[in-house]
Structure 1
Amino acid sequence: MPVLALETATLVSGVALATESALLAEWKLETTKTHSELLLPHIEMLLQAAQVEKQQLQAVAVSLGPGSFTGLRIGLATAKALAYALGIPLIGVPTLEALAYNCPAPGLLLSPFLDAQKGNVYQGRYRIENGRVVEAQPPRVIAFRTALEELIAAG
């Protein structure tokens, strides 16, 4: 049974269908159009392309941020409405933690960034321990230059 995943924390609109063992389909698009214009059509296109009916979904996963306030609101509202309408679980996924999870480098400090505008970034720090992401520092907004200086000093 697939899980529908929604990513709206940044300018990139992302939807995916995955099972525990495989990515079934994925759609990502960066455009000037807003998530409110594209998210539902993207979900519909993805389900059709993967030949999955909404009723087959096991859960809906959605990015929790940090990120674009409006984008996150649209993603969260859409995910909550779908989960409620289909009677399936809603799973919140911290955005920076998910980025760290994609870099399985045990023993290293992982520090994903997202653009927070005006020379700032959203930054978290994580370590991979026993195959799990462990938060070393909670997400924060920091000047990009300062974040780099801190990472260089930390070695």
Structure 2
Amino acid sequence: MSDAIDAGGAPRPVGSYPHARRVGNLLFLSGIGPRDPESNAVPGNEYAADGSVLRHDIGAQAHAVFANVRAVLEASGARWEDLVDVTVFLTDMARDFKGYNAVWSEHFPEPAAAPCRTTLGIDALPTPIAIELKCIAAFKE
């Protein structure tokens, strides 16, 4: 048995899936990006006249994606400290890993208390974002 979570304070999913699903004491978050929950804008993106992305600011997007993950965790009854595993998808590993890693360190200053993390470089994401997180949290019983 599992419970689907719809987090009103997070950006709407871009497909037909919940923000998260709770199974026992585990919470599985769907991929969460940095889109603004109210405007759907992508922080730090600079666009050309044709709508294509000229530049992105990985720091702005990383801060926004963490805020969105927090919103889903809170809507689910979980806390930031409940995260146990994070998979990070970056569309430009060579350019963005260092900047993303700096933001990660702000949010998780103690490595021993941080969740496990895997970072992957990928070609694209379904919206004009440079980062997406897939998270698992464990509720304290």
Say whether the fold is shared (TM-score over 0.5). Answer: no
TM category (shorter chain) comes to 0.3 to 0.5
TM-score by length of 2: 0.38
**Larger Rg over CA atoms:** 1
Q: Higher relative contact order at CA 8 Å, sep ≥6: structure 1 or structure 2?
A: 2
TM-score by length of 1: 0.36
